[in-house]
Amino acid sequence: MALIDQFFSRAVKRGPLTVIHADGSRRSFGAFDPALKPLTLRLGPGAARRILSDPALGAAEAYMDGSLIIEDGDIRDLILLMTANNRWEESERNLRPGAMRRLAEGLLHRIGRFNMRRASKRNVAHHYDLSAGLYDLFLDTDRQYSCAYFTDPGNSLERAQSDKKAHIAAKLACRPGMRVLDIGCGWGGMALYLHAQTGAEVLGITLSEEQLKIARARAALAGVADKVRFELIDYRDVEGPFDRIVSVGMFEHVGPPMYRTFFAKCRELLTPEGVMLLHTIGRAGGPGVTDRFTSKYIFPGGYIPALSEIARGYEGMRFFLTDVEVLREHYGHTLRHWYDRTTAAREQIVSLYDERFFRMWQFYLAGSMASFFNGGLVNYQLQFARSRDALPFTRDYMLEEEAALREEERPFMLQSG
């Protein structure tokens, strides 16, 4: 039996998956499972070697180059089938690399996670300074590039992203006139929402020049540029104080060696009665290593933290952790929408970049989606306060304020530029 057949024999117990080799021979793997879509995978020259040398990166690059072809399905179907055979909470077998390779990757991981100022800006630009037209093709109208909040899995992406903003705003307990810092403000949607819905004044900061242009244009168009400001600045260089801090989808770029710096700075920036809400992708298990595909093509310098690593970042700082929520499959549903919109916009994306970029983006979204549905990724929302009395005695206020925000949401200008 060829090595690649041994690989699929171990990896696929539920399927079936039919593999057509470069020489035309075929093998089938896995018993029929009604929950999975039967697939046929065609491997071109060199694809098997790539997969064996590094399953995730090898499969990604083979798909990007067109030497891995899925018949009667697409790359999302293949990734879902493969990960369903090795679900995080069920599997006792892990197809891990050898000890020496794990050691080398661990060392590279630690070196790459030191996100100093210059490296941070370069890493952000790699991903977020892509064409604004690309993001318009798959994000919601408010350009929320983070996990949505699905009160019902059948909700539209626009509804779920609006509900996410209400969910976060309720936890912040903002009041008119409060000063809010939005660390990693993206294209400005959360900052504009917080001002429109609560009357708070917001400073949004980013390291992406493209995001900054659009965020400022949106604030000007809405007539609130004096109340919602945006700056190109590293969080370490911000001066306070602020009544509230919100950070959504930025912590993944901080890196474990800088966690204590991050939390110390946030605590310093808050008033004595200040409150912070941190929204981040997280690992359900212990610390890990960023996969090579993501590091190479998507988020250089990025790392998804375990809850234990986040805790080590703030422990001993007299910073109260006042609430923790785990969103399990919400990002999976978010990514499902993004993948569908990306696939539907194939021609536009190919015209912006090329076919290889389109396939890379598909692989990124499909792999990320599977990580939340079958893998060990979740989203954490952590609330912090400097004072034990800064927030109401019970968390009932969150539900009450969230319901009020959804019921009484006032319209405000949402322009993506």
The pLDDT value given to residue 130 = 74
Q: How confident is residue 324, by pLDDT bands cut at 50, 70 and 90?
A: very high
77 and 135 together in one domain: no
DSSP-based three-state secondary structure for 378: strand
Cβ contact 232:207 at 8 Å: yes
- 24 Cβ contact partners less than 8 Å away, ≥ 6 residues apart: none
Residue 94 lies in a domain: no
Residue percentage of the chain with pLDDT more than 70:
88
N- to C-terminal Cα distance for the chain? 56
The pLDDT value given to residue 132 = 81
Residue of 111 and 81 predicted with greater confidence: 81
- Lookup result for tokens 């077998």: 93
Report, as an integer, the average pLDDT of 2-16.
94
pLDDT at 99 > cutoff 70: no
149 and 80 together in one domain: no
The pLDDT value given to residue 407 = 83
Residue of 13 and 99 predicted with greater confidence: 13
Residue 264 lies in a domain: yes
pLDDT tens-digit readout, 251-263: 999 999 999 999 9
The partner residues of 326 in beta bridges, in order of sequence, read 380
Report, as an integer, the average pLDDT of 160-167.
97
- Lookup result for tokens 């630009």: 125
318 and 226 together in one domain: yes
206 and 80 together in one domain: no
Residue percentage of the chain with pLDDT more than 90:
84
Q: What is the CATH number of the domain that holds 51?
A: 3.30.1050
pLDDT tens-digit readout, 351-383: 999 999 999 999 999 999 999 999 999 999 999
pLDDT at 415 > cutoff 90: no
Average pLDDT, the chain: 90
Q: What is the CATH number of the domain that holds 379?
A: 3.40.50.150
Which pair of structure tokens corresponds to residue 319? 């910073």
Residue 271 lies in a domain: yes
* Total residues belonging to the chain: 417
pLDDT at 100 > cutoff 80: no
- Domain assignment of residue 208, given as a range: 117-407
pLDDT tens-digit readout, 119-152: 665 665 556 567 789 999 999 999 999 999 999 9
The pLDDT value given to residue 2 = 86
pLDDT at 106 > cutoff 90: no
Residue 92 lies in a domain: no
48 and 122 together in one domain: no
pLDDT at 228 > cutoff 50: yes
241 and 349 together in one domain: yes
Q: What is the Cα–Cα distance from 200 to 103, expressed in whole angstroms?
A: 48
DSSP-based three-state secondary structure for 364: helix
Cβ contact 134:214 at 8 Å: no
Residue 393 lies in a domain: yes
Report, as an integer, the average pLDDT of 262-282.
98
121 and 267 together in one domain: yes
pLDDT at 107 > cutoff 70: no
The pLDDT value given to residue 363 = 97
The pLDDT value given to residue 282 = 98
Residue 191 lies in a domain: yes
Distance of CA 201 to the CA centre of its chain: 27
pLDDT tens-digit readout, 181-221: 999 999 999 999 999 999 999 999 999 999 999 999 999 99
208 and 69 together in one domain: no
33 and 124 together in one domain: no
Domain termination residue (choose one: 84, 101, 130): 84
Query: How many other CB atoms sit within 10 Å of the CB of residue 389?
Result: 9
Alpha helices in 152-250 (DSSP H): 157-172, 189-198, 209-221
153 and 73 together in one domain: no
In the chain, the number of structural domains is 2
